[in-house]
């Protein structure tokens, strides 16, 4: 299928829409939004008395957005930034919960000093308007 001169074809052979950014540009924007959302969540954790132990912690089982501790409680935090908090609430499906639990288990083996008491899995949902909802004990492994 022919394309307009100067417009690279997309997968379907049609030229890119001038109104829609490229996939690469959308990916960069999503990454920046994620970094900003994580910073907001770090601030909320600090205001609640938590000490940040790790940010974007990579394990063989996957990445953990934030790890924080207050007293003997260690919190594994999944940050979700979406256009609305409501959309973010549906962005942690069971498969991702299993991956987070496996990543936390790997982290416990590699950083045992970060753990010593209860472990909680929280979700922090950030809307594009800056709203933040913190779901404490958002899920438990095996649920």
Q: CA 29, CA 18: separation in Å to the nearest integer? A: 17
Could you give the domains of the chain?
37-139 (3.40.1350.10)
Nearest to 120 by CA among 81, 69, 80, 55: 69
> Parallel, antiparallel, or unpaired for β 119-127 and 73-82?
parallel
Q: What is the mean pLDDT of residues 24-40?
A: 80
pLDDT computed for residue 7 by the predictor: 46
pLDDT computed for residue 110 by the predictor: 96
pLDDT, tens digit (0-9, with 9 covering 90-100), for 35-63: 888 999 999 999 999 999 999 999 999 99
Query: Who wins on pLDDT, 92 or 45?
Result: 45
18 — pLDDT class (breaks 50, 70, 90): low
Check pLDDT > 50 for residue 3. Answer: no
């Amino acid at each position: 299928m022919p394309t307009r001169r100067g417009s690279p074809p997309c997968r379907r052979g049609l030229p890119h829409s001038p109104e829609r950014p490229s996939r690469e540009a959308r990916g960069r924007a999503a990454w920046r939004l994620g970094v900003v959302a994580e910073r907001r969540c770090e601030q909320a954790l600090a205001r609640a008395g938590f000490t940040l132990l790790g940010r974007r912690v990579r394990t063989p089982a996957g990445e953990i957005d934030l790890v924080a501790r207050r007293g003997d409680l260690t919190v594994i935090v999944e940050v979700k930034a979406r256009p609305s908090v409501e959309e973010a609430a549906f962005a942690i499906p069971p498969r991702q919960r299993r991956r987070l639990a496996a990543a936390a288990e790997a982290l416990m083996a590699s950083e045992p000093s970060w753990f010593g008491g209860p472990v909680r899995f929280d979700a922090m949902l950030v809307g594009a308007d800056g709203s933040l909802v913190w779901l404490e004990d958002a899920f438990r492994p095996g649920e």
